[in-house]
Amino acid sequence: MPPPEKTFYCIFLGPPGSGKGTQAKKIIDIHHVFHLSTGDLLREMAATGTELGKKVKGIMDKGELVSNDVMFAILEKKLLSPECKHGVIFDGFPRNIAQAQELDKMMTKLQKKLSCVIEFKVPDENLIGRITGRLIHEPSGRTYHIKNNPPKVPMKDDVTGEPLIQRPDDNVKVLEERLKVYHSQTKPLIEFYSNPAHKGLLKVVIASKPLDQVFKDVEDILKSLP
Ligand code: ADP
Ligand code: AMP
């Protein structure tokens, strides 16, 4: 694949179901940067069935956060790989202040700079319908919605025709825990990325708008990057 015209390292920050993964997949079709979804990487790890995989799955199924040590190892391995050389959309990372500080260190080590942090703003009450109607194609991480973004053939991936599944953590009870974790541990990152050391990085999109409108708003932000 040719290197992208524009290189950027951008964090998509928002609660579960706010549309980060959906928009990231649309953006990488255009910009060819790497979509680094820690949720997808952890689901791959869980599927291996190793001791660590089983432990990770147990944590994800409860809606809690996987330990920072495991996350730092995953991040380092990925960020150093050639696929991340021409830019990254960070989707689901960082999720707490320690992870954000680690990302700052890694970027400095790589002599790269964060280009932007896009907050996907959406009220909690919009998220139940999005999460309980979400369908995913596990091998690729492609995401659909039963009503808002249905696949062409019911329960089949548009690209491969393979079956779609519902994530085990996409239910009302686990969503409650995930939202609690978001508000207590991840939302403080909005303040973190507003501090003078990260001046000008934080942008906001209203993610309760229809999919195509959110896409346009994200694209406008990315286009405005130097
Ligand atoms: P996240 O990656 O932030 O957890 P997703 O991108 O997987 O969220 O989106 C969650 C669900 O909501 C998916 O089923 C997706 O199709 C749907 N969705 C995403 N963006 C919108 C939107 N703007 N309007 C309506 N539904 C949306
Ligand atoms: P996501 O696919 O982003 O909704 O993430 C699914 C689950 O994976 C979360 O509920 C957490 O259990 C775990 N997870 C994903 N990213 C991280 C992260 N950066 N730190 C800790 N746990 C994570």
| pLDDT, tens digit (0-9, with 9 covering 90-100), for 133-187 | 999 999 999 999 999 999 999 999 999 999 999 999 999 999 999 999 999 999 9
CA of 43 to the centre of ligand 2 (A): 9
- For 197, the domain range is 8-123+180-223
Residue 171 lies inside a defined structural domain of this protein? no
The predicted-structure confidence for 190-216, as pLDDT tens digits, reads as follows 999 999 999 999 999 999 999 999 999
Residue 193 lies inside a defined structural domain of this protein? yes
Residue 150 lies inside a defined structural domain of this protein? no
Residue 163 lies inside a defined structural domain of this protein? no
Rounded distance between C-alpha atoms, residue 78 and residue 72, angstroms? 10
User: Residue 77 burial (CB < 10 Å; 0-12/13-18/19+)?
Assistant: exposed
DSSP state at residue 182: I
Q: Which two tokens stand for residue 36?
A: 């680094």
Quick one: which ligand is closest to 74's CA?
2
Of 20, 42, 52, 174, the residue with max ligand 2 atoms within 8 A of its CB, to mutate for a pocket test, comes to 42
Quick one: which ligand is closest to 215's CA?
1
Rounded distance between C-alpha atoms, residue 170 and residue 130, angstroms? 9
CA of 181 to the centre of ligand 2 (A): 10
pLDDT at 2: 59
Q: In total, how many domains does the chain have?
A: 1
pLDDT at 226: 87
Rounded distance between C-alpha atoms, residue 122 and residue 17, angstroms? 9
Mean pLDDT, the chain, integer? 96
Of 13, 125, 142, 143, the residue with max ligand 1 atoms within 8 A of its CB, to mutate for a pocket test, comes to 143
Q: Is the pLDDT of residue 5 over 90?
A: no
Active-site annotation holds for 43: no
Between the two ends of the chain, the Cα-to-Cα distance in Å is: 23
pTM of the model: 0.97
Rounded distance between C-alpha atoms, residue 213 and residue 208, angstroms? 10
Q: Report, as an integer, the average pLDDT of 112-116.
A: 96
Q: Is the pLDDT of residue 56 over 80?
A: yes
> Looking at ligand 2, which atom is closest to the CA of residue 95?
19
CB of 20 closer than 6 angstroms to any ligand 1 atom: yes
pLDDT at 3: 59
Active-site annotation holds for 134: yes
The amino acid at residue 127 is: L
Residue 133 lies inside a defined structural domain of this protein? no
Query: Nearest-CA neighbor of 211 among 219, 202, 221?
Result: 219
Query: Nearest-CA neighbor of 13 among 186, 191, 225?
Result: 186
Catalytic residue, chosen from 43, 57, 142, 167, is 167
Angstrom CA distances, 115 to 30, 58, 68, 85, 212, stand at 17, 34, 23, 14, 23
* % residues pLDDT > 70 (the chain): 98
Active-site annotation holds for 142: no
Residue 131 lies inside a defined structural domain of this protein? no
CATH code of the domain in which 30 resides: 3.40.50.300
Specify the pairing of strand 142-145 against strand 88-91. Answer: unpaired
Query: Nearest-CA neighbor of 225 among 110, 89, 122, 121?
Result: 89
Residue 33 lies inside a defined structural domain of this protein? yes
Residue 117 lies inside a defined structural domain of this protein? yes
Q: Return the residue whose CA atom lies nearest to atom 19 of ligand 1.
A: 19
